[in-house]
Copies of this chain bind each other. A is one copy, B any other.
Amino acid sequence: FRTGHGYDVHAFEPGDHVILCGVKIPHTAKLKGHSDADAGMHALTDALFGAIGLGDIGDHFPPSDPQWKGAASQVFLKKAVNEVVARGGSITHCDITLICEKPKIGPHRDAMRMALARIMGLAPDRISVKATTTERLGFTGREEGLAAMATATVRLPERL
């Protein structure tokens, strides 16, 4: 067993919705980024890459590469899942925390779990999505941006 973790931040900019863990949520701002700026999915992707020691999302999908402009982040997540599988591994569990004052995540949690489960080919009960605020402190508290943390537990065949 190996645990990897991920952390990702995106800034808010004018707009009318965010995409988080594959779910579109109406909001008074959008998240800025080269791709769809899905910080939750990016943190999870990094947690998977981290568990298997395969660099990070920025190596595999450089923001400077026009190929990934506006990309759906599920491309990134699927790549990480495939890399685990290619090593004979399996994903035991994923846990994601979205850190923001707004939008409210709770009403969208189940849709997020279903979206991630579908993309990852995993049972929804192996995927946890949580949310918290920073009580109006720091950049998330000032609603300048949104942060996401993730852990992934992966089972890899041990070398003999």
Question: Among residues 110 to 136 in chain A, which have CB atoms less than 8 Å away from a CB atom of chain B?
Answer: 113, 124-128, 130-136
Of the stretches A20-28, A49-57, A71-79, the one at the interface is: A49-57
- CB of A83 within 8 Å of the partner chain: no
- CB of A93 within 8 Å of the partner chain: yes
Query: Are B10 and A95 interface neighbours, CB within 8 A?
Result: no
Query: Are A46 and B109 interface neighbours, CB within 8 A?
Result: no
Asked if A149 meets B9 with Cβ closer than 8 Å, knowing A58-B106, A95-B51, the reply is no
CB distance from A18 to the nearest CB of B (A): 14
CB distance from A68 to the nearest CB of B (A): 16
Asked if A153 meets B2 with Cβ closer than 8 Å, knowing A9-B132, A9-B137, A127-B53, the reply is yes
Query: Are B5 and A149 interface neighbours, CB within 8 A?
Result: yes
> Which single member of B106, B132, B151 contacts A151 (CB below 8 Å)?
B151
- Alpha-carbon distance A128/B58, docked complex (angstroms): 14
Question: Among residues 58 to 117 in chain A, which have CB atoms less than 8 Å away from a CB atom of chain B?
Answer: 58-59, 92-93, 95, 97, 99, 106, 109, 113
Query: Are A132 and B7 interface neighbours, CB within 8 A?
Result: yes
- CB of A29 within 8 Å of the partner chain: no
- Alpha-carbon distance A122/B101, docked complex (angstroms): 34
- Alpha-carbon distance A68/B28, docked complex (angstroms): 30
Q: Give chain B residues whose Cβ lies under 8 Å from the Cβ of A124.
A: 53
21 contacts between A and B (CB under 8 A): A1-B92, A2-B95, A3-B3, A3-B153, A4-B93, A4-B151, A5-B151, A6-B130, A7-B97, A7-B149, A9-B135, A9-B138, A32-B135, A46-B97, A49-B130, A50-B97, A55-B106, A56-B97, A58-B106, A135-B145, A151-B151
